[in-house]
Structure 1
């Protein structure tokens, strides 16, 4: 049992999970969150009796969460009610074909054949076979371990693994080897957006994303995924960690090449032997550290591509259709139209015809009565960048784009405009203000580029005693990777302490 002071900056899932793991090891942990409640992007909004998750809507790789709870106290199933989705998502393609993608891998190929024609299932299974090889090549040495030049070198020396990862190919490029049906190509493209990336530039290694979802299943937390953040925060407190909200950190103090503590916006100084930063890496290196510290990492971050953001409608609807799928994706009419969405990431206007994602859980806890539904509608969108890109605070833009998204839904067979009781719009600018993510980038940097997924900021910083955790650090964004990031970081901290 040790008694070292650890300060965690930021109460997103990564910070909470790292705090719980370090508290379970006996360290004195203080977590500071700038918002009035913890959770970061695992947020929730209540409007007129409706409640909406405003962040992730799926749990994949449940074993990662099970390990977090088992390592810190009572098991996951004692704390949260995870329910496996029998239909992971309903996909609608441009010509009107619909696919209910099963939540179990052995049911996927027959469903594809029924929806898209004979042979579609075999094409997808061939791709998943490749993705499985990538998974086995990368998950232990990369996703579950600290990133290092030595680790990448060892991977490069394993010829079969290197051929599977294929860093010289894009995700779309590797998909083209297996998927002759353009609709399957659209399905694969969608997984690049899970990391805020462009499938034409994202590395082939992202093939693990659909593999993980379909191998481990898609799961939902009854009561909303916000409950996951609350459960980990409760675990932190039960282990003796101090969790402070409304406490914004203004700087990380460094002297003699090592971390000394933090300063809050209120002027308080909190000494620490170890600081774990669950803030965006660009914010840590560009705003919290003293000038000149971490210059090389700051230079490298300035040359990376930020991830995309999201434009969101929170719809409280009158009436309820029991056949409404938990998830629905409405694709644009063609791959060319989908490519225009990715081109818009770097443009000055949002995409005119983006894919539309709808999360509509059948959960009584999220609606005011049985004759209603709470829908979270998302389109991937350019980040907020008034100087060089889209200014989401420009007068009228948010409302015009909200109307455009609702019209696209209607064109694609899902017209709910006559049912709307309440409509709340959330733009990338809103996300930036609420979470302090630059531009509202959901995942920090994108995975665009041959080695981008392998070159995120490391969990161990160049400053002795300072560590990074969360979606902008290794191994990346999304609930499972953020939870793995916390596991890696806590292990590094424990070794240091």
Structure 2
């Protein structure tokens, strides 16, 4: 059931401009169109997806961004709000095992979900199977707690912090927020390999186990209990499916539209958004255009939105506050088309360096990486034959790196900056040695690298951060930047820079937070389908 008609936006549907066509921008645009608003989405790239980039070369189709399909209930919820389901829009495949881990050259460890993971842990440390079973139960509890009390709340009202149900949780929350994930895991597992498996999800939060609150042990519920899925056609197909749904809802999507500024007008002493000015970059000469707006949603990098598009007097965050923030790590990416099959590898592969703490220290300190470092590698061709020519493999390699745009950009066929290609070559050699693929280099048919500066150029990422603001204690939950600009009425923010945080599910939730705010929905919890079948009927779960 899809909502149509007048929205709960005070008196009438509004004119909305969404800046940015990544997951959060598409999700926000779709929800606002479904609730009756006239929505225009502006994306500066020729294609949609934002950080969920794509590359096609010589028969290979690469995702250059997200590659883990987790929290299916959150992703499915957006599709249901838009009147469809993931079953109808996507073809999801459950991965078994979820991923493969190397700790050095030799035999890897496969991690299935559920009791299979318990058995794997037990094989490495007596008693660890039962400990993991209990750990997964705790992670599930924290996951439920986060969904019920944190993720779907924008914390815009001080009253939020004095809810009786939240105050009752303080004894449980305090140790999870004051203890690092690293220490939390170390109390329960002695084997360093098991600690690495349970600590590494912090990297997908733009942080490290030492700097991430223990509350995020909930991530282990996602991969070790719920399990890992994959959308056939890759995440680029997921983006395309969302874009089609948005267009059907009435969203006007304009690509190659670089936003130049957000125009603000002051009336009766209150600053309000008035319009968005943008440049059509698809033409031979710059053509400036203007879209009037009652509401603007900045679904691009928050630092860029505030410092490049807004006059200084309307910015929510001072220059000093940005100096105190952590942009999270950047990354060197490497897309490889490989001739022949690679049975040594699985769909998801993690390579963990023994010098674990030093690896993270170098990333946070902005130092050069060691030749052997922790590496993530996705081989979607293991599951999806459409992403590579027959008999070939598709490899996407991510090497966490310091947020240093000065390291430069990547390029085709080894022609990126020297620093980027040096790191890519080292990771390639490490994978070849550890996985036992001696001729890996000789089998490369396609090679494309990306560096920290590419994140700046492609998605306006602050300091070249690959994911968004790190999930440290000072940048989690209500301490993360808000979804509304407190100085400008009608200016909202969505995406990985703001609440609730990093990752596709969090970006979709941020879209709901904005949609609730724009539609004046006060009740807590996720949005639900309207009982009336019209936009006036939208409500939230209690």
TM-score relative to the length of structure 2: 0.85
Identify if the C-alpha distance between structure 1 residues 345 and 411 changes in structure 2 by more than 3 Å, giving closer, same or farther: farther
Shift of 1:194: 0.3
CA contact (8 A) 2:136 2:224 kept: no
Residue in structure 1 matching 2:216, options 206, 218, 222: 206
Aligned partners of 1:443, 1:152: CA distance in 2, in Å? 28
What does residue 32 of structure 2 align with?
22
Shift of 1:342: 3.8
Identify if the C-alpha distance between structure 1 residues 189 and 55 changes in structure 2 by more than 3 Å, giving closer, same or farther: same
CA contact (8 A) 2:115 2:133 kept: no
What does residue 147 of structure 1 align with?
155
Aligned partners of 1:351, 1:494: CA distance in 2, in Å? 50
Identify if the C-alpha distance between structure 1 residues 426 and 414 changes in structure 2 by more than 3 Å, giving closer, same or farther: farther
What does residue 487 of structure 1 align with?
512
Matches within 5 A, 1:31-70: 31-70=41-80
CA contact (8 A) 2:408 2:451 kept: no
Matched position secondary structure for 1:486: helix
Unpaired runs of at least 5, structure 1: none
Identify if the C-alpha distance between structure 1 residues 447 and 191 changes in structure 2 by more than 3 Å, giving closer, same or farther: same
2:480 is the alignment partner of 1:460: no
How many residue pairs were aligned? 489
2:392 is the alignment partner of 1:367: no
What does residue 397 of structure 1 align with?
419
What does residue 362 of structure 2 align with?
343
Matched position secondary structure for 1:167: helix
What does residue 131 of structure 1 align with?
139
Matches within 5 A, 1:258-337: 258-265=272-279, 266-296=287-317, 299-322=320-343, 324-336=345-357
What does residue 282 of structure 2 align with?
none
2:236 is the alignment partner of 1:226: yes
Shift of 1:95: 7.0
Shift of 1:21: 0.8
2:437 is the alignment partner of 1:410: no
Aligned partners of 2:125, 2:176: CA distance in 1, in Å? 30
Residue in structure 1 matching 2:465, options 406, 419, 441: 441
Aligned partners of 2:297, 2:52: CA distance in 1, in Å? 19
TM-score relative to the length of structure 1: 0.93
What does residue 528 of structure 2 align with?
none
Matched position secondary structure for 2:101: strand
CA contact (8 A) 2:469 2:475 kept: no
CA contact (8 A) 1:182 1:335 kept: no
Aligned partners of 1:172, 1:412: CA distance in 2, in Å? 25
What does residue 525 of structure 2 align with?
none
Matches within 5 A, 1:228-243: 228-243=238-253
CA contact (8 A) 2:103 2:351 kept: yes
Identify if the C-alpha distance between structure 1 residues 245 and 395 changes in structure 2 by more than 3 Å, giving closer, same or farther: closer
Aligned partners of 1:70, 1:308: CA distance in 2, in Å? 34
Unpaired runs of at least 5, structure 2: 7-12, 280-286, 411-415, 522-535, 537-542
What does residue 355 of structure 1 align with?
374
The CA RMSD measured in Å over matched residues stands at: 2.2
Identify if the C-alpha distance between structure 1 residues 324 and 201 changes in structure 2 by more than 3 Å, giving closer, same or farther: closer
Matched position secondary structure for 2:313: coil
2:487 is the alignment partner of 1:477: no
